[in-house]
Amino acid sequence: MKHAPTVLPLLLAMVLPCTMAAAGNTPGTGATASANTESAPAIGIADRFLVLLDAGDHAGAHALFDDSLGKSLSSVQLGDVWNALPRQFGALRSRGAARLTAQNGQNLVFYRHQFANAALDALVAVDARGRISGFRILPAAAQTPPTPLPVADSAFSERMLQIGDDATGLPATLTLPAGDGPFPAVVLVHGSGPHDRDESIGPNKPFSDLAHGLARDGIAVLRYEKRTKARPQDFAGGHFTLREETVDDAVAALALLRRTPGIDAARVFVLGHSLGGYAAPMIARQAGNVRGLVLLAANARDLHDIVPEQVEYLAELDDAVTEPELQAIAAMRAQRDEIEAMRGGGPAPAKPMLGLPETYWRGLLAYDPVAEAKALKLPMLLVQGERDYQVTVAGDLARWQKGLSGRADVRIRRYPALNHLLMPGQGRGNPQEYLKPAQVDAAVIADIAAWIKAH
């Protein structure tokens, strides 16, 4: 049986687009008590919550939420999300035993869910009063992210750093070429979703490939855990924009890199992938002192236009669009139209696309990455795989080309066999290929390195 299209690979790993309120302290409710050290009460509450969801009692499950989560996510929305999982990922085959950890005054209870086409973790956060303060669906690999060990290589060295202060900082890895420097350097900025520093998806780690490949060619690289991955509690208030999600941390990473010994502070670049490339002009303007931009598979179009297009593409991939798929496409188009209406003063969407708040969408509506890039007058390298169905040659690269036409300091590189991860494949692009082990194409890394060294 064919299921409604999953938007799992949306702009690279927006794992469950309808991501809900994150676990963590909720602003405005006062300080929470210390984490409950006895697992039974928290696990019992989380178990009851999942049983109610499975039984279709979404109102009963919703009644277990604290006030803040209950206001941000209705029982109808909760039911829509839960019911969408088997349509997106296939039938549920098993649910693992509860696994408990404590963080920021919360008990976090994880349950591994094995669907026919994916393994996901349901995270239920239970506060000291026994209320559910957060609920998220995560990729299974995100359950206990290990701290990556430095790679041993005679051509470079790696050491751990932190972006920001001890209270809210993000773990990072600096990859330095062998030698004394000073070296040109680049900050890697993630695409959509809660990414680790390697931008891992399935067995693939494109940011690790880039860091090691560029360092072997004499370029230092700083990569870090994305805030939505490392500190989801920072978004528990539900009101944030692209700046809080991506831009501010990239600016802080650039500042750290410029003051790091061995780095040529006058030759620090931004390399953004997918939504990170879309945000790169904003990052450069806010940061200042950026030498240039590398835009990898960077979308130029509005996100709310791209999402329905991706859902439709995936539905049509097997040349047979089912009724559930048609309903999913129609729902995405309706959400797109609601967001677009805000541009003309319309109200906030009743059910925001991807579960992202009104503030996020209004911020994107006010931002034009191509116009921003054009105003910067910085050298740029645009890299595009021609098999990329998420950020496309016709839809996105053409807009960059048109907006930046006549600029002698803008270079474009196209690769016929590469997908959204800049990894090789055959035939029409599809999400399954992201789950096959591969590496960022060596030609891409060589071209980026040559361009950076020329500037």
Catalytic choice (66, 196, 198, 388) = 388
- Beta strands 263-273 and 92-95, pairing class: unpaired
Active site residue 274: yes
Catalytic residue among 274, 302, 396, 441, which? 274
Count of alpha carbons within 13 angstroms of residue 149, beta-carbon side: 3
Q: Which residue has the tokens 């047979």?
A: 320
Query: How far are the Cα atoms of 8, 161, 212, 371 from residue 154, in angstroms, in the given order?
Result: 37, 20, 11, 42
The residue behind tokens 């790169």 is: 280
Are the C-beta atoms of 273 and 383 separated by less than 8 Å?
A: no
Whole-angstrom distance, CA of residue 92 vs CA of residue 94: 6
388 catalytic per annotation: yes
Record the tokens describing residue 338, joined without a space.
């609601």
The owner of tokens 């891409």 is: 444
| Sign of the alpha-carbon torsion through 435, 438, 444, 449 | positive
Using alpha carbons, select from 230, 232, 238, 231 the residue that is nearest to residue 67: 238
Grouping H, G, I as helix, E, B as strand and the rest as coil, residue 220 is: strand
Please say whether the beta carbons of 327 and 4 come within 8 A: yes
What number of other Cβ atoms are within 10 A of residue 217's Cβ? 17
Which residues neighbour 376 within 8 Å (Cβ) at sequence distance 6 or greater?
281, 284, 285, 293
CA pseudo-torsion sign 30, 33, 36, 37: positive
The reply to whether 420 belongs to the active site is: yes
**Catalytic annotation, pick one of 127, 196, 420, 441:** 420
Cα atoms found within 13 Å of the Cα of residue 27, Cβ hemisphere only: 8
Closest CA to 385 of 355, 349, 347, 425: 425
Q: What is the C-alpha to C-alpha distance for residues 372 and 367, in angstroms, rounded to an integer?
A: 8
Q: Which of 305, 302, 449 is nearest to 381 (CA)?
A: 449
Q: CA distances (Å), 281 to each of 287, 296, 391, 397, in order? A: 10, 13, 17, 15
Q: Where are the alpha helices (DSSP H) in 154-205?
A: none
Q: What residues are annotated to the active site?
A: 274, 388, 420
